[in-house]
Amino acid sequence: MKKELKCHIGIGPKVEGVALVADDNFSARYDLDRIKGLFSRPQHQLFGKSYKDVILVLNTAKGGVATAWMLYEMTSRKIAPKAILFNKANTILAQGAALAEMAMVDRFEDGDVTKLIKTGDHLIVCPDDGKVVFC
Amino acid sequence: MKLNDEEKAMLAGDFGPAVKWAIDHQLQVGRMFDAKDMVAVSQSHMMADPESLGEAGIAFTEKIAETGIKVRIPMITDPRGVDLNYYQSLGQTENMANLERRFIAACKNMGITMTNTCINYQTIMPPVFGEHVAFGDTGVVIYSNSVCGARSNFEGGPSALAAGLTGRTPRYGLHLDNKRIPTKRFRILDQPQDLMDWGVLGAAIGRMAGSYWEVPIIEEVEKTPTSDQLKHFGAAMASYGSVPLFHLVGVTPESQNVEDADGADLEIINVDMDATSDLKKPFAAVGEHVDVVVFAAPQLSIIEMAELAALCSGRHRSNATDVIVCTSAQVYGDAVSMGYVDKIEAFGGRVLVGTCFYQQYAREIGEANGWKRLLSNSAKIVNILGGYGYQPALASMEACIASAEKGRIIS
């Protein structure tokens, strides 16, 4: 297994944590119960799972612009992921990460990040260097 | 990123801490998307409802406003989360209303015009072809890019505020010619008829397009759609696929034909009845009781208000079913003077002004009113509300009113 994945330079601080992975898309408004810190959309592959303090690994963003504020609001209550990794982020998620000071990276050189990383993998995310390291 | 002297001064703090925050925020985002420089924008439109903002977002905005800063360009707002003339009956709390009041005060102090609308392209000042803007609300952005030929990325609330403060935005994505070229080509095999059909078609294409960075070009639409039809088409496409731009051959300004839009070499994907039926399947609930019928997302135009009023005339909703209609303040005045609001209220409906249902603490108002089964003609809203604890269903405007009258869903 590779010890390190290269990606595009991202946003936010270097963080360490455990991955929660799904080949699914993401919107804080559409998919989350932000009070409980759970995925609440029944059709989402992570339905019922807690996102608190994990490194989310997902395909891409979907839906509206609310997530930009919501990441900040979630972080302020400390019920938020440590980082989000995408195959392709959209502008809203990047803007939200910038305000929330949350780590976010995308565009992995080796292909589909939802296949390269498995739930439970221990990772260090380095947005400034454009890399994710397996611990 | 290459900055000019004024932008360097902003980053150095010469324009105050709010502008310094704004341009620093923009540089972080620009770096992630490989922006080479900044581009001046003429308008900004900010999505910011209190549920999304929370206490933290409100306090952040107040802190910016307390510096005394004013926005440098015309800046307007997306729908509010609380109609301050009608919130207790809806099950919203005083705390929610107070968050809203604080946010409005902060915005006004910064010189932001509280238009509270997601249909500014129908009611305020539509952008013109080639105009660079910083718009929030995905429905606003996709309509402005596609139908008007303007240039905007999805600008979330913080970034729209930053653009208002700096008068510019990083030049990436839809501000660049090469990001507006079609990447997927769709052919319509079944012609949409009503607003719901247009929403479903947009949703199906959005889902197949798959990401923000795809640009669908769509051909063989037989009849030129109306502004309202394109509104539902775009809003649903953006909702299901995070798509910010489409080209409709022969209709939208950057695609008078497939060749001009550089889409001729793309493989054709047929969009048939199977695709739209598959999309509608999770939202079918004929025969089941309905708790609330909602017309929103996007806010209704004056034409939609007229159509709805005509359907409501001489009828009354079931006592078991509430009816909520969301429109903008700009439309509401005309709808009152034309008697449309009276007809909707005589039916038992409630017209909310300057809000949109899903931005109104949807979970909390659902629980307060016992709303579970929700019916709408908006493909966008049924996509959103599943995560808020609703069981959403989809029907035409006519079927929605007939269902509200009977208290159960009619096809």
Domains and CATH numbers, chain A: 4-134 (3.50.30.10)
pLDDT, residue A21, reads: 98
Provide the number of CB pairs (under 8 Å) joining chain A to chain B. 142
Q: Choose the closest CB to B242 out of A9, A62, A96.
A: A62
**Distance between CA atoms of B247 and B259, rounded to whole angstroms?**
12
| B211 contacts on A by Cβ (under 8 Å) | 60-61, 88, 90
Return mean pLDDT, chain A.
Answer: 95
Amino acid at B43: Q
pLDDT in tens, A33-61: 999 999 998 999 999 999 999 999 999 98
Q: Which long-range contacts (CB under 8 A, 24 or more apart) does B19-25 make?
A: B19/B69, B19/B165, B19/B166, B21/B64, B21/B162, B22/B161, B22/B162, B22/B163, B22/B165, B22/B166, B23/B162, B23/B166, B25/A95, B25/A98, B25/A99, B25/B158, B25/B159, B25/B162
Nearest by CB to B211, from A60, A68, A72: name it: A60
B51–chain A nearest CA distance, Å: 8
Which of B118, B116, B85 lies closest to B301 in space, CA to CA? B118
CA distance B323 to chain A (A): 23
CB contact under 8 A, A66 and B54: no
pLDDT at residue number B263: 84
**Cα B109 from Cα B363, distance rounded (Å):** 31
Q: What are the structural domains, with CATH classification, of chain B? A: 5-177 (3.30.499.10), 181-281 (no CATH), 284-406 (3.30.499.10)
Inter-chain touch A94–B240, beta carbons under 8 Å: no
Which candidate from B29, B49, B384 shows the least CB-CB separation from A94? B29
Low-confidence residues of chain B: pLDDT under 70: none
> Over 70: is that where the pLDDT of A102 sits?
yes
Reply yes or no on whether the pLDDT at A1 is more than 80.
no
Q: What is the DSSP string of B79-128?
A: PBS--TTS-TTTT--HHHHHHHHHHHHHHHHTT-B----S-HHHHT-PPP
Interval B334-382: pLDDT, tens: 999 999 999 999 999 999 999 999 999 999 999 999 999 999 999 999 9
For residue B314, the distance in angstroms to the closest alpha carbon of chain A comes to 37
Contacts of B47 in chain A (CB under 8 A): 64-66, 69
A117 Ramachandran zone, left/alpha/beta (phi>0; psi -120 to 50)? beta
**Residues of chain A contacting B80 with CB distance shorter than 8 Å:** none
Of A30, A44, A65, the CB nearest to B384: A30
**What residues of chain A have any CB closer than 8 angstroms to a CB in chain B?**
8-11, 25, 29-33, 40-44, 60-70, 72-73, 75-77, 88-92, 94-96, 98-99, 104
Cross-strand pairs, B248: B218
pLDDT on residue A2: 64
**Residue linked to tokens 């960075």:** B213
- The reported pLDDT for the residue numbered B69 is 98
